[in-house]
Structure 1
Amino acid sequence: MQDARRAVLVINYNGKDISTDLTKSLIDFSYNDAASGALDDITLNLEDRAQNWQGPWEPTAGDKIKAEIRTINWDKPGEIKKLPLGTFEVDTFDFAGPPDAVAIKAVSLPVSSNVRQERRTKAWEKVNLRTLADEVAKRAGLKLLYEATDNPSYDRLEQAGVSDLAFLLETATKEAIAIKVSGGNLILFDEFEYEKKAPITSITRGESNVINYNFNWSTTLVAYRACEVVYTNSKKKKTYRAAYTPPRAPKTGPILKINEQVDSQAAAIRLARKSLREKNKEAGKGSLTLMGDIRMATGLTITIKGWKRFDGKYIIESCTQSVGSGGYTTSIGIRKVLGW
Structure 2
Amino acid sequence: MTEIFDARRATVTIDYNGVDITTELSRFLIEFTYTDAPPGQLDEISITLEDKGQKWQGPWNPTEDDQVIAAIRTYHWRWTDDFQYYPTGVFYVDTFDFDGPPDKVSIKAVSLPVSSFIRQEQQTRVWEEISLRAIAQDIAGRAGLDLGYYATDNPHYERLDQNEQSDLGFLNETALKEGISVKLTGGQLVLFDEADYEKADPVATLVRGDDRILTYSFSWGTSYKAYRACVLTYTNNEDETISATFIPPGAPENGPVLRVNEQVDSYAEAMRVAKNRLREKNKEAGKASISLVGDARFSSAITLNMSGWGRFDGKYITESVTHKVGSSGYTTDLEIRKVLGW
Question: Which TM class, normalised by the smaller chain length?
Answer: over 0.9
Partners of 2:82 and 2:298 in 1: how far apart? 18
Can you give the 5+ residue segments of structure 2 that lack an aligned partner in the other structure? Answer: none
Q: Do residues 201 (structure 1) and 211 (structure 2) align?
A: no
Aligned amino acid, residue 282 of structure 1: E
How far off its partner does 1:91 sit?
1.1
Instruction: For 2:200, give the aligned amino acid.
Output: K
User: How many angstroms apart in 2 are the aligned matches of 1:68 and 1:321?
Assistant: 11
Provide Cα deviations, 1:106-133, integer angstroms capped at 9, x if missing partner: 1111222021211111111111110111
Deviations 1:129-169 (A, max 9, x none): 10111112123221110010000111111111111111111
Q: Which amino acid aligns with 1:216?
A: S
AA at the equivalent of 1:225: R
Corresponding residue number in structure 1 for 2:45? 42
Q: Which residue of 1 aligns with 2:298?
A: 296
- Which residue is equivalent to 1:211? 214
How many residue pairs match? The answer is 339
| Distance in 2 between residues matched to 1:321 and 1:27, nearest whole Å | 14
Which residue of 1 is the match for residue 332 of structure 2?
330
Of the three residues 97, 104, 108, the one matched with 1:94 is: 97
- TM-score with structure 2 length normalisation? 0.97
Which of 11, 16, 32 matches 1:13? 16
AA partner of residue 291 (structure 1)? V
Provide the residue aligned with 2:68 in structure 1: 65
- Most deviating of 103-112 and 182-191: 103-112
Counterpart Cα distance in 2 of 1:80 and 1:277: 38
User: Which has the higher mean CA deviation after the structures are superposed, 187-196 or 156-165?
Assistant: 156-165
Residue of structure 2 equivalent to 1:314: 316
Q: What fraction of aligned residue pairs are identical, expressed as a percent? A: 55
Mean alpha-carbon deviation: is it higher for 240-249 or for 110-119? Answer: 110-119
Corresponding letter in the other structure for 1:44: I
Report the Cα distance in structure 2 between the residues aligned to 1:111 and 1:119, rounded to whole angstroms.
14
In structure 2, C-alpha distance between the alignment counterparts of 1:240 and 1:166, rounded to whole Å: 29
Give SS of 2:117's match: coil
Q: How far apart, in 1, do the equivalents of 2:167 and 2:142 lie?
A: 9
In structure 2, the partner of 1:163 is 166
2:251 to 224, 249, 252: 249
CA distance in 2, matches of 1:155, 1:205: 51
Q: Deviations over 1:24-45 (max 9, x none)?
A: 1111010000001000110001
Report the CA distance between 1:208 and its aligned residue. Answer: 5.0
SS of equivalent residue, structure 1 residue 112: coil
TM superposition score normalised by structure 1: 0.97
How far apart, in 2, do the equivalents of 1:307 and 1:106 lie? 37
Instruction: List aligned pairs for 1:125-204, cutoff 5 A.
Output: 125-204=128-207
Amino acid at match of 1:117: Q
Distance in 2, Cα, partners of 1:91 & 1:329: 24
1:261 aligns with 2:268: no
**1:25 equivalent in alignment to 2:24:** no
Partner in structure 2 of residue 271 of structure 1: 273
1: CA distance, partners of 2:225 / 2:145:
39
Distance 2:211 2:261 in 1: 46
**Aligned equivalents of 1:79 and 1:229: distance in 2?**
52
Kindly state the Cα deviation for residue 83 of structure 1 after the two structures are TM-superposed.
0.8
Compute the displacement of 1:207 (Å). 2.3
Distance in 2 between residues matched to 1:249 and 1:91, nearest whole Å: 45
1:8 is paired with a residue whose SS is strand
The aligned residue for residue 80 of structure 1 is 83
Listed one character per residue, the Cα deviations across residues 250-307 of structure 1 (whole Å, up to 9, x for unaligned) are 1111111111111211111111111100100000100100000000011110000011
